[in-house]
């Protein structure tokens, strides 16, 4: 049996043969998990579908949490995937070569004050950051605030990459900088990658160089 958000199930249409399929809309994550767990409990072999990596802002954790709350010992296997930050990074160049963080700007699951604390910590520690759920039609303040926080710690020329709807027909990749980020089209299907103090644009690609020690490395050769 296959359980998932409609568009994600559509994207694996070529893999579906005679399996039973259960789809549901956005924001119905718990309902989908419940259906998957009930089916597994009844002896079915169930695939619960996420986009990207199921263990990064996906369904793996919720399924485990709900199974544990039920006191159930359901056998589960997480199939790791390419998380959105990594697909975005590959299209932009190589911005995640060294230490980085992924932070979701959605305050549905984490209080906004905690997200601000994390953005400030990551900005100050010169980590490259991948922002998930950066902006939606209703939610525009969060990306403005995140940009302000990074701008306070990094120059306006710091490279920023935006990859939207990666892998779909309307995939878009934009290379900009902190000072021009808010003018760009950014939506719920975008990942925004903000470089650190060493990130630069090389031949049209966003690259975080291999190390402060590149010179030393060359001398060692």
With contacts defined by CB under 8 A, name the span among 6-14, 15-23, 27-35, 148-156 that binds a copy of itself: 27-35
CB of 183 to a copy of itself, least distance (A): 26
CB of 138 to a copy of itself, least distance (A): 15
Find the binding residues for a copy of itself in span 34-53 (CB under 8 A): 53
Each residue 162-201 as x (binds a copy of itself by CB under 8 A) or -, in order, gives: ----------------------------------------
Q: How far apart are CA 47 and CA 70, in angstroms?
A: 19
User: How many positions of this chain bind a copy of itself (CB under 8 A)?
Assistant: 74
Give the residue from 99, 159, 163, 152 showing the smallest Cα distance to 123: 152
CB of 70 to a copy of itself, least distance (A): 10
Beta strand pairing call for 100-104 and 172-177: unpaired
Which tokens belong to 22?
A: 């259960």
Task: Tell me if 114 contacts a copy of itself by CB under 8 A.
Answer: yes
Beta strand pairing call for 159-164 and 128-132: unpaired
Task: Tell me if 55 contacts a copy of itself by CB under 8 A.
Answer: yes
The beta strands (E) that lie in the chain are given as: 2-5, 21-24, 47-48, 93-94, 100-104, 128-132, 159-164, 172-177, 190-194, 200-202, 205-207
Buried/exposed code over 54-63 (b: 16+ C-beta within 10 A; e: otherwise) = bbbbbbbebb
Comparison of 139 and 205: residue with beta carbon closer to a copy of itself = 205
Among 16, 121, 140, 152, binds a copy of itself (CB under 8 A): 121
Among 51, 87, 142, 190, binds a copy of itself (CB under 8 A): 87
Q: How far apart are CA 53 and CA 123, in angstroms?
A: 25
With contacts defined by CB under 8 A, name the span among 7-15, 16-24, 38-46, 125-133 that binds a copy of itself: 125-133
């Amino acid at each position: 049996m296959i359980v998932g958000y409609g568009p994600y199930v559509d994207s694996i249409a070529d893999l579906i043969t005679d399996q039973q399929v259960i789809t549901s809309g956005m924001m119905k994550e718990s309902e989908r998990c419940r259906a998957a767990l009930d089916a597994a409990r009844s002896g079915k072999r169930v695939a619960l579908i996420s986009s990207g990596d199921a263990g990064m802002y996906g369904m793996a954790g919720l399924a485990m949490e709900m199974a544990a709350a039920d006191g159930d010992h359901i056998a589960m296997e997480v199939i790791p995937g390419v998380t959105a930050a990594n697909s975005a990074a590959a299209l932009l160049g190589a911005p995640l070569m060294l230490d980085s963080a992924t932070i979701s700007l959605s305050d549905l699951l984490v209080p906004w004050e905690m997200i601000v604390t994390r953005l400030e910590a990551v900005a100050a520690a010169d980590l490259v950051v991948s922002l998930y759920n950066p902006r939606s039609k209703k939610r525009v303040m969060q990306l403005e605030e995140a940009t302000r926080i990074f701008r306070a710690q990094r120059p306006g020329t710091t490279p920023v990459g935006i990859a939207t709807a990666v892998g779909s027909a309307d995939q878009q990749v934009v290379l900009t900088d902190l000072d021009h980020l808010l003018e760009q089209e950014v939506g719920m299907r975008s990942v925004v990658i903000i470089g650190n103090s060493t990130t630069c644009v090389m031949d049209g690609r966003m690259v975080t160089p291999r190390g402060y020690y590149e010179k030393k490395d060359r001398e060692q050769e």
